[in-house]
Structure 1
Amino acid sequence: MKSLLQGLLVLCCLTLCETPVLAGEVHLSVAASLKEVINELSDSYTRSHPGARFLKNYGASGQLAKQIESGAPADIFISANVEWVDYLKGKKLVEPSSVATFTFNTLVFAGQPGKASSLRDLTRLNRIAIGSPKSVPAGEYAVQALKKVGLEKQLEKKLIMARDVRECLMYAERGEVDGGFVYRTDALQARQARILFTVPQDLYPKIIYPMALTGPGAKNPDAAGFFAFLHGNEAKAVLAKYGFAAQ
Structure 2
Amino acid sequence: MKKKFGILTLALCLMLGAVGCSNGSSSSSSNSSSGSSSDASSSQSSGKEIELNISAAASLQEAMVEIEKEFKEVNPDVKLTVNLGSSGTLMQQIQEGADCDVFISAGAKQMDALVEDGTINKDDVKTLLINDLVLVAAKGEKIDSLDDLKSDSITKIAIGDPESVPAGKYAKEVLDNTKLYDAVQNKLVLGKDVKQVLSYVQQGAAQVGFVYLSDTHGVDDVDVVLTTDEDTHSEIAYPIAVLKDSKKTDAAKQFEDFLLSDAGQNILEKYGFKKAK
When the two structures are superposed, what TM-score results if normalisation uses the length of structure 2? 0.80
Distance in 2 between residues matched to 1:70 and 1:136, nearest whole Å: 18
Contact preservation (8 Å) 1:169, 1:182: yes
**Structure 2 vs 1, CA of residues 206 and 174 (structure 1 numbering), >3 Å: closer, same or farther?**
same
**Alpha-carbon contact 1:217-1:224 (below 8 Å) kept:** no
Matched, 1:61 2:87: yes
- Which sits farther off after the overlay, 33-42 or 59-68? 33-42
Q: Which residue of 2 aligns with 1:206?
A: 235
Aligned to 1:139: 168
Q: Report the equivalent of 1:48.
A: 74
- Higher helix fraction (1 or 2): 2
The number of aligned residues is 241
> C-alpha offsets along residues 84-112 of structure 1, whole Å, 9 cap, x if unaligned?
11110001111322210100001111012
Letter in 2 for 1:62: G
Deviation string 1:14-46 (CA, Å, 9 cap, x unpaired) is 959x96998511000000111122221121111
Q: Distance in 2 between matches of 1:220 and 1:25?
A: 12
How many Å separate the matches in 1 of 2:245 and 2:191?
A: 31
Aligned sequence identity (%): 33
Matched, 1:123 2:150: yes
In 1, Cα distance between equivalents of 2:205 and 2:223: 14
Could you tell me how far 1:215 is from its partner in structure 2?
A: 1.6
Q: What is the deviation of 1:218?
A: 6.9
Unaligned runs of 5+ in 2: 1-25
Deviation at 1:133, TM superposition (A): 0.3
Q: What is the RMSD computed on CA atoms of the aligned residues?
A: 2.5
| Structure 1: runs of 5 or more not aligned | none
Quick one: which of 195, 198, 203 aligns to 2:224?
195
Q: Aligned partners of 2:270, 2:239: CA distance in 1, in Å? A: 19
For 1:191, what is the secondary structure of its paired residue? Answer: coil
Q: Structure 1 residues 121 and 229, CA, compared in 2 at 3 Å: closer, same or farther?
A: same
SS at match of 1:114: coil
Matching residue's letter, 1:40: E
Is 2:175 aligned against 1:149? no
Residue 220 of structure 1, CA deviation:
2.8
Question: Paired residue for 1:37, among 63, 77, 81?
Answer: 63
- The structure whose Rg is larger is 2
Is the contact made by 2:52 and 2:248 (CA closer than 8 Å) also made in structure 1?
A: no
SS in 1 for 2:211: strand
How far residue 123 of structure 1 moved from its aligned partner, in angstroms, is: 1.1
Q: Give the C-alpha shift of residue 199 in structure 1.
A: 1.3
